[in-house]
């Protein structure tokens, strides 16, 4: 069959709408991120923003945030927003866990790769509150591309805008449409309300 040792393979996996709220698919981590980047380009294609918006996708996040390192050098961002899909912790039914499907965009206040810029995460929270969008606090022992980007160049104020999915890294991950919509809307408002002053606040926040 011409298959050799070391060949690259991908998991076969369908895409299914389980019900009005739930989507089952392989690779929601990180089809979510790619979809969000595309949606932001679509949302702002006719709007003249007071800054250059660069949206894209990286490779090899799972094996060491490798594409994020080169992407940060390529784009030299003043600030960065990273979309990633994180593990939900609610499959046990425990109501007190952090990371529940349908509870909104994540305020990922710490993970193994980054402590987020405090101004940016506070601004994300206030944007969600102002626009009555669901959000939830989250911590992770994992990381995202933000881990590489915030340490790139001379340091880049970085924020993650993540949602959760169950069974990530399998061919049957499950996410909630309410979370997708919350992330989409909060991201759109966040970018729409950004201006030089806000960006300078974020840059000066940690100094
Ligand atoms: Zn992952």
Q: Output the pLDDT for position 206.
A: 65
Could you say which of 16, 61, 122, 193 is catalytic?
Answer: 61
CA of 30 to the centre of ligand 1 (A): 7
CA of 48 to the centre of ligand 1 (A): 33
Q: Is residue 205 over pLDDT 90?
A: no
CA of 200 to the centre of ligand 1 (A): 31
Average pLDDT over residues 23-47: 97
Q: Is residue 72 over pLDDT 90?
A: yes
Q: Across the chain, what does the average pLDDT equal?
A: 96
Q: Output the pLDDT for position 140.
A: 96
Q: Alpha-carbon distance 207 to 201, whole Å?
A: 10
Average pLDDT over residues 92-97: 90
59-to-20, 69, 148, 202 alpha-carbon distances in Å: 31, 10, 13, 27
Domains of the chain: residue spans and CATH: 79-207 (3.40.630.10)
Q: Alpha-carbon distance 89 to 87, whole Å?
A: 6
Average pLDDT over residues 149-155: 96
Which residues neighbour ligand 1 (ion) by CB within 5 Å? Answer: 29
Q: Is residue 40 over pLDDT 90?
A: yes
Please choose, from the candidates 56, 55, 30, 38, the residue with its C-alpha nearest in 3D space to the C-alpha of residue 144: 30
For the CA atoms of 184, 190, 191, 197, the dihedral, rounded to the nearest 10 degrees, stands at -170
Query: What residues contact residue 93 under an 8 Å CB cut-off, 6+ apart?
Result: none
Q: Output the pLDDT for position 167.
A: 96
Average pLDDT over residues 1-28: 94
- Give 12's pLDDT tier (boundaries 50, 70, 90): confident
Q: Alpha-carbon distance 205 to 117, whole Å?
A: 7
**Full-prediction pTM beyond 0.85?**
yes
Q: Is residue 180 over pLDDT 90?
A: yes
Q: Is residue 188 over pLDDT 70?
A: yes
Q: Select the more confidently predicted residue: 108 or 12.
A: 108
Q: Is 122 a catalytic residue?
A: no
Percent of the chain at pLDDT above 70?
A: 99
Average pLDDT over residues 152-169: 96
CA of 168 to the centre of ligand 1 (A): 7
CA of 165 to the centre of ligand 1 (A): 10
CA of 54 to the centre of ligand 1 (A): 22
Q: Output the pLDDT for position 207.
A: 62
């Amino acid at each position: 069959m011409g298959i050799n040792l070391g060949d690259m393979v991908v998991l076969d996996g369908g895409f299914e709408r389980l019900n009005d709220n739930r989507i089952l698919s392989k690779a929601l981590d990180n089809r979510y991120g790619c979809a969000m980047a595309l949606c932001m380009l679509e949302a702002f294609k006719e709007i003249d923003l007071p800054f250059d918006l660069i949206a894209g996708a990286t490779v090899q996040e799972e094996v060491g945030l490798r594409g994020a390192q080169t992407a940060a050098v390529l784009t030299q961002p003043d600030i960065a927003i990273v979309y990633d899909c994180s593990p939900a912790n609610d499959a046990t039914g425990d109501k007190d866990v952090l990371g529940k499907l349908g509870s909104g965009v994540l305020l990922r206040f710490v993970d193994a790769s980054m402590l987020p810029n405090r101004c940016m995460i506070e601004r994300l929270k206030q944007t969600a509150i102002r626009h009555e969008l669901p959000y939830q606090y989250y911590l992770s022992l994992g990381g995202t591309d933000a881990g590489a980007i915030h340490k790139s160049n001379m340091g880049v104020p970085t924020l993650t805008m993540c949602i959760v999915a169950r069974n990530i890294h399998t061919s049957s991950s499950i996410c909630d449409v309410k979370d997708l919509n919350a992330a989409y809307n909060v991201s759109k408002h966040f970018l729409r309300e950004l201006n030089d002053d806000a960006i300078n606040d974020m840059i000066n926040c940690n100094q």
